[in-house]
Structures are given as structure tokens and as C-alpha cells.
């Protein structure tokens, strides 16, 4: 009996079902952190902060209103097969980015490891390292840029 290759190895992002697409998210929370653009940098360097989006549950590292996140947080970017490759701020470890670039998922990704906690164990998750956007004045965001 031949085992079928996992969908993420055989399909493009555009070919995936909604359930397959959603399962690509490893739950690291990195894309749910506030990022700033360095206006002094000619390339517009993205500066990551240790501030989590106002909708991010800092304990579970999951969105508390996933269905309405784009309405409640206008700066929340909806990932699509058409825009993933152009989003340079996406983490290098992001499954959407990796597949768009034709790269394999990391061994710690839950679709590979079979365990959701492998993301935290691998040190990829932002769990336990953030403060909430609700607790920081916007003029102080620069003070929270990760070194």
C-alpha cells in the first residue's frame, strides 16, 4: 500500500481547500505582533516588536475574534495565495511563505510533528514573550522593538 503525500507537499496555496489553508498556520503568533516600518531606512526595514495585537490572547497565542479580525483591526492583513509571496514582513518560518517559495515545512510544524506544542518547544512561538497592544501607548511602540 502506497502512502499519499501530504497536501502541503503536492498542492499550491491556490489549490488548497479552506481547511487545508487554515491548517498551515502553526500558531506561532509572530504575524500577530505589532511591526513598525523604519522610515529612515531606504528599504523600509520591518521592525518587530514584542507587542501582541489587541485581539491576541497572550496565553493561547490565538486570535480572540478570528472571524471579525479584519473589521476590528483594519491593519490586520488577510493572507491569500495571491499576496503571501509579496509580504516581506512574514516570518521566515511561516508555512504560507515557505510553500509560496517552494520550500518544505520545518520538522516542528504541527502538520509534520503531529503536535501543536512542537512550535513552542522549538522556540518559534511568541507565547510568553509579549505584552498586549492594549497596555502600551502607541507613542511608546518604538521602545518595544526586539533587538
Give SS3 for 136: coil
Domain ranges across the chain: 7-136
pLDDT tens for 87-144 read 988 999 999 999 999 999 999 999 999 999 999 999 999 999 999 999 999 999 999 9
pLDDT tens for 25-76 read 999 999 999 999 888 888 778 889 999 999 999 999 999 999 999 999 999 9
Q: Specify the pLDDT at position 37.
A: 84
pTM (predicted TM-score): 0.88
Give SS3 for 48: strand
Mean pLDDT of 79-88: 92
C-alpha span between 19 and 24 (Å, rounded):
9
C-alpha span between 147 and 39 (Å, rounded):
17
Checking if the pLDDT of 24 tops 70, the result is yes
C-alpha span between 120 and 85 (Å, rounded):
25
Q: Specify the pLDDT at position 32.
A: 95
C-alpha span between 104 and 145 (Å, rounded):
29
Answer for the pair 129, 50: CB distance below 8 angstroms, yes or no. yes
User: At 1, is the pLDDT very low, low, confident or very high (cuts 50, 70, 90)?
Assistant: low
Amino acid at each position: 500500500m502506497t502512502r499519499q503525500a501530504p497536501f502541503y507537499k503536492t498542492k499550491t496555496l491556490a489549490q488548497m481547500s479552506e481547511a487545508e489553508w487554515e491548517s498551515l498556520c502553526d500558531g506561532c503568533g509572530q504575524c500577530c505582533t505589532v511591526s513598525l516600518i523604519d522610515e529612515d531606512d531606504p528599504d523600509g526595514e520591518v521592525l518587530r516588536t514584542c507587542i501582541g495585537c489587541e485581539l491576541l490572547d497572550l496565553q493561547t497565542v490565538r486570535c480572540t475574534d478570528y472571524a471579525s479580525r479584519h473589521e476590528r483591526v483594519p491593519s490586520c492583513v488577510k493572507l491569500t495565495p495571491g499576496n503571501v509571496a509579496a509580504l516581506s514582513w512574514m516570518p521566515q518560518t511561516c508555512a504560507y511563505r515557505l510553500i509560496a517559495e517552494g520550500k518544505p515545512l520545518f520538522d516542528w510544524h504541527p502538520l509534520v510533528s503531529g503536535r501543536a506544542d512542537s512550535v513552542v518547544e522549538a522556540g518559534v512561538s511568541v507565547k510568553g514573550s509579549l505584552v498586549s497592544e492594549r497596555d502600551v501607548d502607541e507613542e511608546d511602540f518604538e521602545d518595544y522593538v526586539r533587538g
